[in-house]
Structure 1
């Protein structure tokens, strides 16, 4: 028997995952102690998980969310779970996968090691770099969820072009194009001038009077993405849509993208945001089932 345990930040995805395979969704209480420390508790029948497999679903978009995940893993063990499988829809600190300057930590490794202590297996949805999966012990399984981004797109795209902001994300654009069923792919050349300054060079693809879907794994502030969209506007583009697996969308990201000419922003429920137009639950369920962790 498999029970799904959700972090407070991933309730929608956990519920969708439970529905996908008719699994039990645990009752969890989330609270804080007077000093601000987090408190989680499995309630009612969920407090007795003796001999059961537990799948903990927890995006770690903040330090609090990371601590909550660790507590949920421990709560599952304390309740008697025989196996704890952790699904990380969005991995915070995952982009610092190397020490960029002397004296810096490899933050992704530090986070992965802590999660590994409470898990028998870990699945990470569309990590920024798949190498971060090797930081887990045992090595985590990456789950490619980009294909679901085709689902919310309009069916009447005019000669669509699927663009990634840089060459490193071209496979994401190709995956979405293939799932959509037609279109061309290309990417922008991106040159980082400093920690805050990025220069976007237009690609050679002809976008005049064509609809464009810009695809990326994560959109944070929307700065780089809005610059890319502005370049398209200068070239007579048709409609512009933005899709991403992880719609972090902090600060004034929505405003930036709208002002740049984006018609709509579509993301998944790895992070629960207004732009979360499609769920990754089906692909996560398939991966878990293939690995023998979900019936």
Structure 2
């Protein structure tokens, strides 16, 4: 019996790709909101004894989480043999430490909620800064799809003489990995953040890269302030127009508009956006198959 793939939120392109790659049937949902704002959800596809996969991109988690949990619970009540979650952007990973007394380390309660609702988890390059792996906070099997090979391939196909630049120490793991796979040089700059919109970046050493095309790589592009500050330095140094590559393009506020005025912007298809140029469906489908095979042998 084929896999059932449910897509409770609007990511039809990725859902269609995954359904084809997994030979899955698209599950039919009825969803709406009551006048008081509460959610109504109904599953129209028989799922008793079937493997169910939910594709739910959690880049706006507070808007999606309750409906996602309701769907997972309903599928179990209807007799699904397993319920897995595919979320290319895994939210609430950035708050991984209590910086001030009383702060919620939100990555941990969020992980408990998802671990209790699902049998396994597939995501793309979660923000693992102080955690070494998802296993530190998630209690279900997980697979992390790495975007670095996909980005390196894209760079090799589209950028001539690239110099990869990471705007801060947290980006080093992404930039060094991509640079190694692509066989190109890279530099990591130093960032000082004084607030959400107040960021300063060190000047890069660009002697080796004067004839190169600067390529800024980071896992998350949100406010864009870090990238904008870095681009300002690159412009002052007289470098060619840069390319920005993000694994997760959140683009809060006018970030995308401001960035595209001075650079070319490319993202993976983790979060649906017009900047998507790097396909993620094949490795995600492979990760789902691996987890299903693991469950079969356990």
Shared fold per TM-score greater than 0.5: yes
Contact 1:12/1:269 (CA < 8 Å) preserved in 2? no
Unaligned runs of 5+ in 2: none
Please list the CA deviations of residues 246-284 of structure 1 after superposition, one character each: whole Å capped at 9, or x if unmatched: 11112001222133x20x211122211111222311111
TM-score for both structures, normalised by structure 2: 0.88
Indicate the residue corresponding to 1:193 in structure 2: 194
3-state DSSP class of the match of 1:193? Answer: strand
Q: 1:60 aligns with which of 58, 61, 73?
A: 58
Q: Return 100-109 or 119-128, whichever deviates more.
A: 119-128
Offset at residue 154 of structure 1 (A): 7.5
Tell me how far 1:114 sits from its aligned partner. 1.0
Q: Structure 1 runs of 4+ off > 6 angstroms?
A: none
When structure 1 is superposed on structure 2, of 199-208 and 151-160 the one drifting more is: 151-160
Asked if the contact 1:218/1:248 (under 8 Å) is kept, the reply is yes
Q: TM-score, normalised by structure 1?
A: 0.89
Give the match for residue 70 of structure 1: 69
CA contact (8 A) 1:9 1:65 kept: no
Match of 1:184?
185
Tell me which residue corresponds to 1:239: 241
Q: Which has the higher contact order (CA 8 A, sep 6+)?
A: 1
Other-structure match for 1:218? 220
Unaligned ranges ≥5, structure 1:
none
Alignment partners' CA distance in 1, 2:155 and 2:257 = 20
Distance, in Å, in 2 between the alignment partners of 1:128 and 1:239 is: 28
Q: Is 2:197–2:225's contact at 8 Å kept on the other side of the alignment? A: no
Q: Tell me if the contact between 1:7 and 1:59 (Cα under 8 Å) persists in the aligned partners.
A: no
* Mean Cα deviation higher: 191-200 or 116-125: 191-200
Structure 1 residues 163 and 119, CA gap change in structure 2 (3 angstroms): same
Q: Which of residues 251, 259, 284 in structure 2 aligns to 1:257? A: 259
Structure 1 vs Structure 2 CA RMSD: 2.3
- Equivalent position of 1:138 in the other structure: 140
Taking a change above 3 Å as real, the CA distance of residues 94 and 9 of structure 1, as seen in their structure-2 partners, is farther
